[in-house]
Amino acid sequence: MKLGFGLMRLPMSDENSIDIEQVKKMADAFIAAGGTYFDTAYPYHGGKSETAFREAVVKRYPRESFTVTDKLPMFSIKKAEEMQPIFDEQLARCGVEYFDYYWLHALGNDTYNLSEKIGAFDFIAKKKAEGKVKHIGFSFHDSAEVLDKILTNHPEMEFVQLQINYLDLEDGGVQSRKCYETAVRHGKPVIVMEPVKGGALANVPTEAEELMRSYEKDMSPASWAVRFAASYENVMMVLSGMSNMAQMEDNLGYMKDFKPLTDPEKEMILKCGEIIRNSISIKCTACKYCVEGCPKKIAIPDYFKIYNDLKRYGRNQESKAKSDYASLASEHGKASDCIKCGKCEEHCPQHLTIREYLTNIASKLES
């Protein structure tokens, strides 16, 4: 099955606690349907994603019944001596003796240069030689030119994890198509992340949803997005960051017996992409990488969602938007608290001008 269980947006019992019992039920359904591929990372859920995986899967299933991907956080590592302790901590958190797949996390031009400087490629290759890792690769957020440079310099990398969805296919910043074609040219299988773009392609404008329903009335908008990514020949796995059992059941419903999109269906989905693109002001995927180092603890993705909803649904949502914003701002930094340090933009996989957007949000929602 081409569906992978992304452990980035797990169900929460409260703001700080993962709902482990629900994760167990979701993992049970996933494995029962033939799923084996779980994807986690060091910063997901503030480090709790890895331990949730241990509790829901590792302690309850034989090791040979699943595979797990984890990642070395190159956006937060500064020195070579930091890599081994983090790797050891990840093994302990996950409760495994080895990782099936291990990536350098979120490489771009700057993190690639850092990886070269501190020997990160050699580090993960050594872990493979030691049997602590079965397969090595990297997840990537940058231009096709940078990807080509990395794969040319490091042919030992076995896989590439790319952001591919129908909204970003021709996006100048994400370059989904160009990056995919670069990976194919280098003979590297692709694992897809953000096929639903952080949920943005699960809740689409009415015009786009009606177009989808005209082709298949029972197929959800999210399912079209996942199937679009999975239809690429060189895609080995499509990750879905599922947050509840309903999303799991929806994904399993069409991925257990996966059928690639037909050419007319692909054309229809790309038309939907144009409709959606015109309705989204800020193309945020809510990955929350920007939040990690924010000195003012600004709830950036949450404010972006409120702003996007306001722009999409118009002035009749302004009162609700301001109320939702005020509620969040009572517990987090306000948009106007931004000191323009730029740490958020350094970590943003979408290369968003976050500081500029926060200024706009403050003007709109704090007045």
Q: Where are the domains of the chain?
A: 3-277, 289-365
Residue type, 324: D
Quick one: pLDDT at residue 315? 59
Q: What is the DSSP secondary-structure string of 303-350? A: HHHHHHHHHHH-GGGHHHHHHHHHHHHTTSB-GGG-----HHHHH-TT
DSSP state for residue 24 in the 8-state scheme: H
- 8, 3, 39, 54 alpha-carbon torsion, rounded to 10°: 90
**Do residues 163 and 269 make contact, with C-beta atoms less than 8 angstroms apart?**
no
- Select from 328, 340, 312 the least CA-distant residue to 365: 328
Quick one: pLDDT at residue 320? 85
The phi, psi pair for 162, rounded to 5°, reads: -125, 155
> What is the CA 180 to chain-centroid distance, rounded?
16
Residue type, 235: V
Quick one: pLDDT at residue 275? 93
Residue type, 162: L
Quick one: pLDDT at residue 316? 63
- Select from 66, 63, 1 the least CA-distant residue to 34: 1
Q: How far apart are the first and last CA of the chain?
A: 50
Tokens of 60: 């309850």
**Do residues 232 and 165 make contact, with C-beta atoms less than 8 angstroms apart?**
no
Tokens of 164: 């591919």
Contacts of 316 (CB under 8 A, 6+ apart): none
How far apart are the C-alpha atoms of 208 and 276, rounded to whole Å? 7
Quick one: pLDDT at residue 82? 98
DSSP state for residue 57 in the 8-state scheme: I
Tokens of 228: 């679009």
**Within 13 A of 232's CA, how many CA atoms are on the CB side?**
27
CATH number of 3-277, picked from 3.10.20.30, 1.10.275.10, 3.30.43.10, 3.20.20.100? 3.20.20.100
Quick one: pLDDT at residue 340? 95
pLDDT of the chain, 367 residues: tens digit per residue: 999 999 999 999 998 899 999 999 999 999 999 999 999 999 999 999 999 999 999 999 999 999 999 999 999 999 999 999 999 999 999 999 999 999 999 999 999 999 999 999 999 999 999 999 999 999 999 999 999 999 999 999 999 999 999 999 998 889 999 999 999 999 999 999 999 998 889 989 999 999 999 999 999 999 999 999 999 999 999 999 999 999 999 999 999 999 999 999 999 999 999 999 888 889 898 898 999 889 999 999 999 989 988 877 665 678 888 989 999 999 999 999 999 999 999 889 888 999 999 999 999 999 7
Residue type, 96: V
Which runs of consecutive H residues, i.e. helices, occur in the chain? 20-32, 48-53, 83-94, 109-118, 120-129, 144-153, 176-185, 206-215, 221-230, 245-255, 263-277, 289-292, 300-313, 318-329, 343-347, 354-365
How far apart are the C-alpha atoms of 156 and 66, rounded to whole Å? 24
